Amino acid sequence: MTAIANADKPTISLPEMGCGTWAWGNRLLWGYDESMDAGLQQVFNYCVENGVTLFDTGDSYGTGKLNGQSEKLLGKFSQAYQGPNKEKICLATKLAAYPWRLTRGMMAQAGQASKVRMGRLDIAQMHWPTANYFPWQEGPLLDGLADLYDQGLVKGVGLSNYGPKRLRWVHQRFAERGVPITSLQVQYSLLSTFPLTELGLKAVCDELGIQMIAYSPLGLGLLTGKYGQDTPKPKGLRGILFRQLLPGIQPLLDCLKEVAIQRDKTMAQISLNWCICKGTTPIPGAKNLGQAQQNIGALGWRLGSGEVDELDRAAASSDKRMVQNIFQTR
């Protein structure tokens, strides 16, 4: 567990791995249906029982009339749960920088609304920076985020898709108010090493006492080994992207498979353990109990330095990379 403390505030302990809930409520990309809810509650319970107590969501998660569905489900599941590690549950949401969310008060109200949907809110995060397109919008939204902490409505605040320059800027802005940054989320995986290898974000996070969270650590499923050049692709946008990346990433997938066979682990488990070895907290998604069980199989052991180096080389030499988030700053 990574503990992040402030003298006057509760300590937040982040586990080695969390659970991302982007798919919970998303029909467009992940094919969510409300008939899946009972299975998702099983996923939640199994994760908490096994020490995966961080659940990441967003107030924009859920498509159409299901907007906010992910938060609602997490609220329902966390309130119903009565098993081990209940006291360690940490619900984190990301507040969207919508074009119509313009003021400090609007951001604080968004956090309060998320807290109502979930029944609690441990970490409130800025979903993405607006520096690349509406730089004037960002300051008020960050101030509203910090207000949630000052008012005791959250235990911590975090950021997502920030690069080192903007991270330092926010860190200084918050430090002047005595508001620590708990975490920074970036897209990080063997298909997206950019945040560490090119931006050097891990070193900056370590310097500032911020835990780095890796979202999409399985490359939207490409690193699980389920999809290859000759296998059926998922429908919709993911399928289009997968066809673009394959076969350029095949050498990386071959290396991943070889390490998995040697370790008697799955490719997904190797990918997640690699993220952990890099000092990040991966938050893979899980739509069913089997996926949750596979994810948790990445815990309790470590790749050797030689294996990590081998995977690093394969990732660096790959002809294709995962598309970067358009909001990611430097």
Confidence band, pLDDT 50/70/90 cuts, at residue 7? very low
Residue 211 or 233, more confident: 211
Predicted local confidence at residue 242, as pLDDT: 87
CA distance 179 to 111: 16
Predicted local confidence at residue 231, as pLDDT: 80
Q: What is the dihedral of CA 286, 291, 293, 295, to 10 degrees?
A: -70
**12, 100, 13: which is closest to 60 by C-alpha?**
100
Weakest mean pLDDT among 20-34, 167-181, 275-289: 20-34
Instruction: Using the predicted structure, report yes or no on whether residue 4 has a pLDDT greater than 60.
Output: no
Confidence band, pLDDT 50/70/90 cuts, at residue 31? confident
Cβ atoms within 10 Å of 111's Cβ, excluding its own: 24
What DSSP line would sit under 193-231, residue for residue? -HHHHTT-HHHHHHHHT-EEEEESTTGGGGGGT---TTS
The strand pair at 9-14 and 211-215 is best described as: unpaired
Please report how the helices 164-175 and 135-150 are oriented relative to each other, as an axis angle in degrees rounded to 10. Answer: 50
Q: Which residues have a Cβ under 8 Å from the Cβ of 89 and sit 6 or more positions away?
A: 48, 53, 55, 78, 81
- Only one residue has tokens 């389920």, namely 226
CA distance 218 to 265: 15
Element holding 47 (H helix, E strand): helix 37-49
Instruction: Using the predicted structure, report yes or no on whether residue 268 has a pLDDT greater than 70.
Output: yes
Q: Are 40 and 77 in contact (CB under 8 A)?
A: yes
220: left (phi over 0), alpha (psi -120 to 50) or beta: left
Confidence band, pLDDT 50/70/90 cuts, at residue 9? low
Q: Is the four-CA dihedral 38, 224, 220, 138 of positive or negative sign?
A: positive
> Mean pLDDT of all residues in the chain?
93
Instruction: Using the predicted structure, report yes or no on whether residue 28 has a pLDDT greater than 80.
Output: no
Q: Are 161 and 128 in contact (CB under 8 A)?
A: yes
Q: Is the four-CA dihedral 250, 252, 255, 256 of positive or negative sign?
A: negative
Q: What is the mean pLDDT of residues 185-210?
A: 96
Weakest mean pLDDT among 34-43, 181-190, 270-279, 318-327: 318-327
Q: What is the mean pLDDT of residues 138-163?
A: 97
Predicted local confidence at residue 56, as pLDDT: 98
Predicted local confidence at residue 8, as pLDDT: 60
In the structure encoding, which two tokens stand for residue 305, read together?
A: 């330095």
Predicted local confidence at residue 180, as pLDDT: 97
Q: Which residues pair with 159 in a beta bridge?
A: 126, 184
- Only one residue has tokens 């000052």, namely 150
Cβ atoms within 10 Å of 109's Cβ, excluding its own: 15
Instruction: Using the predicted structure, report yes or no on whether residue 325 has a pLDDT greater than 90.
Output: no
Task: Verify whether residue 81 is a known catalytic residue.
Answer: no
Ordered by where they begin, the domains of the chain are 2-316 (3.20.20.100)
Q: What is the mean pLDDT of residues 15-28?
A: 90
Q: What is the mean pLDDT of residues 57-62?
A: 91
Predicted local confidence at residue 236, as pLDDT: 80
Weakest mean pLDDT among 76-80, 131-135, 181-185: 131-135
Predicted local confidence at residue 330, as pLDDT: 83
Predicted local confidence at residue 67, as pLDDT: 83
Predicted local confidence at residue 25, as pLDDT: 86
Q: Which residues have a Cβ under 8 Å from the Cβ of 103 and sit 6 or more positions away?
A: 140, 144
CA distance 143 to 148: 9
The percentage of residues in the chain with a pLDDT greater than 90, rounded to a whole number, is 79
Predicted local confidence at residue 5, as pLDDT: 47
Say which of 61, 162, 215, 227 is annotated catalytic: 61
Predicted local confidence at residue 10, as pLDDT: 61
